Amino acid sequence: MNTNTVPITLEKNFLLIPIWSGEKMVRISLSIDGQNVREFDAELATTKEQISFWSFLDITAFQKKDATLKLDGATEEGISLITQADEIPGASEFYSESLRPQFHFSQMLGWNNDPNGMVYYDGEWHLYFQHNPYGWKWGNMHWGHATSKDLVHWEQLPIAIYNKQHGDWAFSGSAVVDEKNTAGWQTGNEKVIVASWTSTGRGECIAYSNDRGRTFTEYEGNPVVQHAGRDPKIIWYQPGEHWVMAVYDESEEAGRSIAFYTSEDMKSWEFQSKLEDYYECAEIFELPVDGDTNNTRWVVFAADARYAIGQFDGKVFLPEHDGKYQVHYGKYYASQLFNNSPDGRKIQIGWAQIEMPSMPFNQTFSFPHSLTLRTTDTGIRMFAEPVKEIEILHQKQHSTKNIYLTEDQPADLEVSGELFDIRARFEVRDATTIGIDIGGEQVIYNTKENQLNGAEMTPINGEITVQILIDRPMMEIIGNNGRVFLTTSRQQRGRVSTISAFAEGGQARLVSLEANELRSIW
């Protein structure tokens, strides 16, 4: 493999890398004074005509420095296209692309997968995320960063955590606010935000921020835990006044499991227990049952979002049932809850595995949703509903109610737009199928199988409710006020002029239907 070295003086805001999705991978490193400061792989375009998009490397921290660019496997033509600029090419078109989610957060460019480091602090919701800023596919794992003041509108900030070196990537993890300064890292008036992540070359690592989560300093004692595993989730356990780390772990004895560690300062951790049969991206939290703060349960889940309910004493989780339950279905994975949410809200975001072909970005995130525990006919179950802040985006509303539906008599709403929050309530009666048609794409409830688009859901007192969030590339279907939550690609894309409620194989009563046109967050 040929290696090229190029001396360069860093004079502008960005080093621009031309990307062609499908080209062979080139290893690129940027070094200053003989030390690599950035190292990654990229599908480097070789001609201007090939360029799918321009990736950008923020070099503001290295202004006026003399550096060396090293490229393994690059062509002379590809190297000649790398340049510096103060602006990102095509930035004026970001967020207006044909498949760009308009009210779900997505990164400007490149790839995302797991949400990371989700934490609320002093009016800001922080969403860090697994991010490849140099390509459309998975790779080069960094922590991207976005913030919001209302859980709806997001601003992407510079990358928060870079990989240590090539092959030592910054994998998933979490963030907390160290309210009591237990680690002793606070240097000013701001509380410290502490991030924990898996360094793939070292183990579970810690870094801290004194500037509201914008930049992080690595703890010199990293790694704080070494084992076969990844994705640490740290929470504060108030009854014991200590920190808990729930982290995916692999061993011959326990197989795939969640391991629980405890610490008083986030520097020294002590192993406590394992919970078997969970795979990556562990999560643990406490919720009141039916809103009763005197009757609470703990919930655990991992990347597939299948969960267990039980008790947790700060060291050991004891499930109170066999197996696992399910609320999420479809293209939903590796979710996380915000730590430190105000008013005790438990708000979750998952990786929405929606491909964006021919776009300069790929994948996105679910709309934030609130979690609750409620008593049902089959026991205590978790419910997931879009956060109430979705109503910030409501514009024109169209509605109808109390219509008897048959195969020959649907209920139509004339609408105009691409983005909708649709809410419907049906009395099932003797229909075999009930549904909502959104411009030719149908959401269907099968009354014989008791399934909403394939997810099991039983009527309550003979009725079902459905909420559907429609965005450009995707939709989320919420049944029975959060009993099921489905994330899926949108098959019939584009503007919609008619939304209909319908029934087949008998009669159903449409109790109510409303379609709220939504404005874009961009």
- What residues are labeled active site? 114
Smallest Cα–Cα separation from 124: which of 147, 93, 104? 147
Residue 408's SS3 state is coil
In angstroms and rounded to an integer, the radius of gyration of the C-alpha atoms of the chain is 24
Query: What is the helix (H) or strand (E) element at residue 420, kind and residue range?
Result: strand 420-427
Instruction: Locate the DSSP E strands across 338-410.
Output: 347-352, 361-362, 364-365, 369-376, 379-386, 394-405
The Cα–Cα gap between 55 and 37 comes to 17
Smallest Cα–Cα separation from 171: which of 211, 124, 138? 138
Smallest Cα–Cα separation from 369: which of 389, 349, 391, 392? 349
Q: Using the 8-state DSSP alphabet, how is residue 78 labeled? A: H
Question: What are 278's two structure tokens?
Answer: 């969970």
Given phi > 0 = left and psi -120 to 50 = alpha, else beta, which region is 360?
alpha
The Cα–Cα gap between 33 and 17 comes to 22
On whether the CB atoms of residues 211 and 192 are closer than 8 A, the answer is: no
On whether the CB atoms of residues 373 and 285 are closer than 8 A, the answer is: no
Distance, first Cα to last Cα, the chain: 43
Residue 56's SS3 state is strand
Q: Which residue has the tokens 């199988």?
A: 449
Q: What is the DSSP string of 179-217?
A: TT-TTS---SSSPEEEEEEEETTTEEEEEEESSTTSS-E
Question: Omega into 386 within 30° of 0, i.e. cis?
Answer: no
On whether the CB atoms of residues 498 and 415 are closer than 8 A, the answer is: yes
The Cα–Cα gap between 293 and 498 comes to 44
**Amino acid (one-letter) located at 284:** I
The Cα–Cα gap between 54 and 43 comes to 11
Count of Cβ atoms closer than 10 Å to residue 322 Cβ? 6
Residue 121's SS3 state is strand
**Amino acid (one-letter) located at 242:** H
On whether the CB atoms of residues 137 and 111 are closer than 8 A, the answer is: yes
Question: What are 316's two structure tokens?
Answer: 């050991």
The Cα–Cα gap between 180 and 187 comes to 13
On whether the CB atoms of residues 280 and 301 are closer than 8 A, the answer is: no
